[in-house]
Amino acid sequence: MTADADPRTERRFERMRPLSQGVASRLAADDVPAGPTYPGLVQSIALMRFRHQWIPHLHRKYGDVFSIRILPEGRWLVVFNRPEHVREIFAGDPEVFHAGKGNAILGPVMGEHSLLLVDGAQHKRARKLLMPAFNGHALRTYESMIEGLAKTEIGSWQEGTPFRSLDRMNALTLEVILQVVFGVTDERRLAELRPLVNRTVNVSPAVFLGWGFPRLQGFGPWRRAFENQVALDRVIYAEIAERRRETDLESRTDVLSRLLLVRDEDDPSGGGLTDEELRDQLVTLLLAGHETTATALAWTLHELAKDPAEERKARDAATSGDGDHLEAVLKEAMRLHPVIPMVVRHLMEPATIGGIDLPAGANVAASIILAHSSETSHPDHDAFRPERFLAGDVAANTWIPFGGGVRRCIGAGFSLMEGVAVLREVLSVYDVGLPAGAREVPKVRNITSVPKHGARIVVTRR
Q: Which is nearer to ligand HEM, 21 or 319 (CB)?
A: 21
Q: Per this entry, what is the length of the chain?
A: 462
Query: With left for phi above 0 and alpha for psi between -120 and 50, is residue 111 left, alpha or beta?
Result: left
SS3 category, 275: helix
In sequence order, the 6+-apart residues with CB closer than 8 A to the CB of 90 are: 366, 397, 403, 404, 405, 408
The pattern of x and - marking residues 244 through 283 that bind ligand HEM according to CB under 6 A reads ----------------------------------------
414 contacts ligand HEM (rule: CB under 6 A): yes
| Cβ closest to ligand HEM, residue 128 vs residue 223 | 128
Residue 401, interface with ligand HEM (CB under 6 A)? yes
CB 117, min distance to ligand HEM, A = 8
Nearer to ligand HEM, 35 or 289 (CB): 289
* Single-letter residue type at 280: D
What letter does residue 239 receive in the DSSP assignment? H
Q: How far is the CB of 99 from ligand HEM (least distance, A)?
A: 5
Which residue in 210, 386, 403, 433 binds ligand HEM (CB under 6 A)?
Answer: 403
SS3 at position 325? helix
Instruction: Tell me the C-alpha distance between 151 and 147, whole Å.
Output: 6
From candidates 404, 433, 442, 454, binder to ligand HEM by CB under 6 A: 404
Burial class of residue 403, CB neighbours in 10 A (0-12, 13-18, 19+): buried
Residues 164-193 interacting with ligand HEM (rule: CB under 6 A): 181
Binding to ligand HEM (CB under 6 A): which residues in 101-120?
Answer: 115-116
**What is the contact mask toward ligand HEM in residues 291 to 330, using x (rule: CB under 6 A)?**
-xx--x----------------------------------
Residues between 333 and 362 that touch ligand HEM (CB under 6 A): 339-340, 343
Options 56-64, 146-154, 212-220, 290-298: segment touching ligand HEM (CB under 6 A):
290-298
Crossing angle for the helix pair 187-201 and 275-306, to the nearest 10 degrees: 80
399 near ligand HEM, rule: CB under 6 A: no
Q: How far is the C-alpha of 462 from the C-alpha of 446, rounded, in Å?
A: 37
Judged by CB, which is closer to ligand HEM: 228, or 293? 293
Number of Cα atoms under 13 Å in the Cβ half of residue 367:
25
How is residue 29 annotated by DSSP? G
Which of 99, 231, 333, 371 binds ligand HEM (CB under 6 A)? It is 99
Asked whether 336 and 77 are in contact (CB, 8 A), the reply is no
Edge-to-edge strands of the sheet including 430-433? 163-164, 456-461, 430-433
Distance separating alpha carbons of residues 377 and 309, to the nearest angstrom = 24
Max CA distance (Å), the chain: 64
Q: Which of 411, 433, 451, 454 binds ligand HEM (CB under 6 A)?
A: 411
The size of the interface with ligand HEM (CB under 6 A), counted in residues, is: 26
- Looking at the Cβ atoms of 230 and 362, the one nearer to ligand HEM is 362
Positions touching ligand HEM (CB under 6 A) are 99, 115-116, 127, 181, 284-285, 288-289, 292-293, 296, 339-340, 343, 401-404, 407-411, 414-415
